[in-house]
């Protein structure tokens, strides 16, 4: 990034706002993303979270992993609840009932909660212009209920409701582009991130926090259970997704596109390097992989062009 | 810490399922999930903190001797720290009862 203040783990907040003892699977990069997002936000943060893995693993009553105020809401309404919190707290501050201070109001949900069931409330919250951040943890399926496809499941992935077989490639639709949908609201800040690039992720979360008005951050969150990979490889697969351009790291800052990381010629890899080794893509043929390669580069080149525009 | 989770009855829960004790999941010791344990070669550790940064449990800390190591109360044995350590000074060792 242009002005990077986090470039070593030594610059990262030491305090943990998400306690151990949570019940995420071994090697879950989604819970790692939550941990890093909270480090970037700090303690003056209120979170509203949709049902999904991160809610289930962090809050089996009567225990919680949260060290910031957190509310669990229904599957569809994290954005509605957090926008209500923001409006309510702002009113209390205006009336002098609580001290005025900067608070991060953060809605969080999985890809199912965000791109499918909570899309309407999210769109409403973005359009109303609340001073809030919405974070989508995209593990590319409804993992909590047993790996069902969502509109963010990529083409060719086998899930329990898009199983690959003799007559099916698995998911036969293209991944919904939530990032562009958020950007189309004309909100001040939109970005993609991945915990395999932790400094980039935390920089973006900080930027979202400093931006007045709505911000949307879409985090690719590797799920070893649903992707059928070894838990020890969760960070590696996030890196492969980015270096194969399957998941480009970029931001749209007040309408200006910028790739915050461009894989160098040495780092750039074919999509096959990312797909192979993942159980959910095991069935893909060479020609399927070629199709995915072509679509991936087309989307990446579009981003390159957009980020070169003044 | 307040009462262990299994001793709390439903009558004692706060109205609206509010949990007032922050981060009390620390009482749930996920270390029992582990089948492999990360073992650090203290001499080789360069104290870069990448294991700490990438651990999904947030359970790696600096030992008094200066190197970084897992808190086995919570470590689930995922092996990410061993995979990501730039000097490969962490080995996953099978837990034996
Ligand atoms: C209205 C409603 N429909 C269905 C469910 C069941 N449900 C709970 S979590 C979940 C999947 C969540 O998927 P996602 O948002 O992608 O989060 P993940 O678990 O993958 O992190 C489903 C279907 C529900 N809780 N409420
Ligand atoms: S199913 Fe996937 S996202 Fe959910 S807790 Fe397990 S590894 Fe994490
Ligand atoms: S094995 Fe996994 S859970 Fe244990 S310390 Fe290493 S990264 Fe953390
Ligand atoms: S990643 Fe390896 S070298 Fe770095 S602090 Fe951890 S154990 Fe030490
Ligand atoms: Mg999901």
**What is the model's pTM?**
0.97
d(CA A64, nearest CA chain B) in Å? 5
ipTM value greater than 0.90: yes
Kindly report the CATH number that applies to the domain delimited by A16-308: 3.40.50.970
Residues of B in contact with A32 (CB under 8 A): 54-56
Instruction: List the end-to-end C-alpha distance of chain A, in Å, as a whole number.
Output: 17
Q: What is the CA angle A17-B81-A13, rounded to 5?
A: 30
Among residues A142, A195, A31, A36, the alpha carbon closest in space to that of B76 is found at A31
**C-alpha dist (Å) from residue A191 to A6, A183, A235, A298:** 17, 9, 19, 19
| Ligand 3 neighbour B59 (Cβ under 6 A) | yes
Mark yes or no for CB contact B80/A58 under 8 Å: no
All residues at 6 or more sequence positions from A142 whose CB lies less than 8 Å from its CB, including other chains:
A52, A110, A112, A148, A149, A150
Closest residue (by CA) to atom 4 of ligand 4? Answer: B48
* Six-digit token string for A196: 């395999």
A23 CA to centre of ligand 2 in angstroms: 9
Kindly report the CATH number that applies to the domain delimited by B29-94: 3.30.70.20
> pLDDT band at residue B6, thresholds of 50, 70 and 90?
confident
Mean pLDDT of A12-33: 98
Name every residue in B having a CB less than 8 A away from some CB of A. Answer: 5, 8, 13, 17, 19, 21-30, 33, 48-50, 52-59, 71, 73-74, 76-80, 82-84, 92
pLDDT at A142 over 60: yes
Spell out which residues line ligand 2, taking CB within 6 angstroms: A 24-25, 28, 30-31, 53, 57, 139, 143-144, 223-226
Determine contact, residues A141/A162, Cβ cutoff 8 Å: no
d(CA A69, nearest CA chain B) in Å? 8
Mark yes or no for CB contact B80/A67 under 8 Å: no
Closest residue (by CA) to atom 5 of ligand 3? Answer: B70
How deeply is A246 buried, as exposed, middle or buried, from its count of CB atoms within 10 A (0-12, 13-18, 19+)?
buried
Residue with tokens 């069902």: A148
* Six-digit token string for A63: 């225990």
Mark yes or no for CB contact B26/A20 under 8 Å: yes
Mean pLDDT of B67-93: 98
pLDDT of residue A178: 98
Please report the atom of ligand 2 found closest to the CA of residue A56: 5
**Which three-class secondary structure state does DSSP give residue A104?**
strand
d(CA A60, nearest CA chain B) in Å? 9
Among residues A145, A147, A122, the alpha carbon closest in space to that of A135 is found at A122
A100: phi then psi, degrees, rounded to nearest 5: -75, 125
pLDDT of residue B10: 86
User: Can you list the alpha helix ranges (DSSP code H) found in B1-97?
Assistant: 50-54, 80-84
CA dihedral (A239, A114, A206, A3) positive or negative: positive
pLDDT of residue B4: 83
- Please provide the average confidence, as pLDDT, over all residues in chain A: 97
pLDDT digits 0-9 by tens, B46-75: 999 999 999 999 999 999 999 999 999 999
Nearest CA in chain B to A229: B78
A112 CA to centre of ligand 2 in angstroms: 13
Beta-carbon count within 10 A of B7 CB: 8
Mean pLDDT of A33-42: 98
Spell out which residues line ligand 4, taking CB within 6 angstroms: B 40, 45-51, 67-68, 85, 87, 89-90
Report the DSSP beta bridge partners of residue B92: B38
What is the percentage of chain A residues whose pLDDT exceeds 70? Answer: 98
Please report the atom of ligand 2 found closest to the CA of residue A27: 7
pLDDT of residue B62: 97
Max Cα–Cα distance, chain A, nearest Å: 66
pLDDT of residue A2: 46
pLDDT at A268 over 50: yes
pLDDT digits 0-9 by tens, A242-266: 999 999 999 999 999 999 999 999 9
In the 3-class helix/strand/coil scheme, how is A44-79 assigned residue by residue? CEEEEECCCHHHHHHCCCCCCCECCCEEECCCCCHH
By the CB < 8 Å criterion, does A29 face chain B?
yes
Residues of B in contact with A27 (CB under 8 A): 56, 76, 78-80
**Of B5 and A69, more confident:** A69
Please state the domain extents for chain A: 16-308
Please state the domain extents for chain B: 29-94
| Ligand 3 neighbour B40 (Cβ under 6 A) | no
pLDDT of residue A4: 60
Among residues A236, A231, A200, A268, the alpha carbon closest in space to that of A40 is found at A200
> pLDDT band at residue A221, thresholds of 50, 70 and 90?
very high
Residues of A in contact with B72 (CB under 8 A): none
Please report the atom of ligand 2 found closest to the CA of residue A57: 5
Determine contact, residues B56/B77, Cβ cutoff 8 Å: no
């Amino acid at each position: 990034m242009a002005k990077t203040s986090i470039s070593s783990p030594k610059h990262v907040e030491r305090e943990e706002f998400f306690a151990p003892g949570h019940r995420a699977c071994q090697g879950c990069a989604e819970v790692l993303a939550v941990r890093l997002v909270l480090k970037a936000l700090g303690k003056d943060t209120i979170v509203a979270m949709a049902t999904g893995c991160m809610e289930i693993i962090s809050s089996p009553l009567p225990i919680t992993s949260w060290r910031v105020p957190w509310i669990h809401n229904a599957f569809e309404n994290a954005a509605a609840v957090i926008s209500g919190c923001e409006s309510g707290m702002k009113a209390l501050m205006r009336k002098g009932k609580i001290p005025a201070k900067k608070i991060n109001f953060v809605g969080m949900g999985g890809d199912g909660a965000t791109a499918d069931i909570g899309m309407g409330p999210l769109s409403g919250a973005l359009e109303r212009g609340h001073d809030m951040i919405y974070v989508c943890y995209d593990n590319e399926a409804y993992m909590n209920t047993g790996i069902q496809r969502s509109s963010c499941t990529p083409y060719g992935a086998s899930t329990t409701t898009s199983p690959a077989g003799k007559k099916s490639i698995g998911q036969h639709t293209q991944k919904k582009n939530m990032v562009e949908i958020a950007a189309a609201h004309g909100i001040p800040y939109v970005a993609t991130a991945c915990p395999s690039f932790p400094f980039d992720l935390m920089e973006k979360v900080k930027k979202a926090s400093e931006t007045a008005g709505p911000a949307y951050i879409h985090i690719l969150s590797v799920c070893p259970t649903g992707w059928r990979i070894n838990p020890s490889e969760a960070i590696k697969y996030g890196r492969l997704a980015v270096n194969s351009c399957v998941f480009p790291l970029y931001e749209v800052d007040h309408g200006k596109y910028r790739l915050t990381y461009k894989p160098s010629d040495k780092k750039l890899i074919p999509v096959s390097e990312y797909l192979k080794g993942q159980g959910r893509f095991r069935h893909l043929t060479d020609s399927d992989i070629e199709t995915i390669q072509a679509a991936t580069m087309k989307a990446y080149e579009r981003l390159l062009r957009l980020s070169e525009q003044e | 810490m307040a009462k262990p989770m299994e001793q709390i009855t439903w009558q004692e829960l706060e109205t609206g399922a509010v949990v007032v004790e922050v981060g009390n999941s620390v009482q749930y010791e996920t270390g029992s999930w582990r089948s492999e344990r990360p073992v650090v070669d203290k001499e080789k550790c360069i104290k870069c903190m990448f294991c700490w940064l990438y651990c999904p449990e947030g359970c790696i800390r600096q030992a008094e001797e200066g190197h970084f190591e897992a808190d086995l109360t919570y470590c689930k044995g995922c092996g990410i720290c061993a995979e990501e350590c730039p000097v490969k000074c962490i080995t996953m060792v099978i837990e034996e009862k």
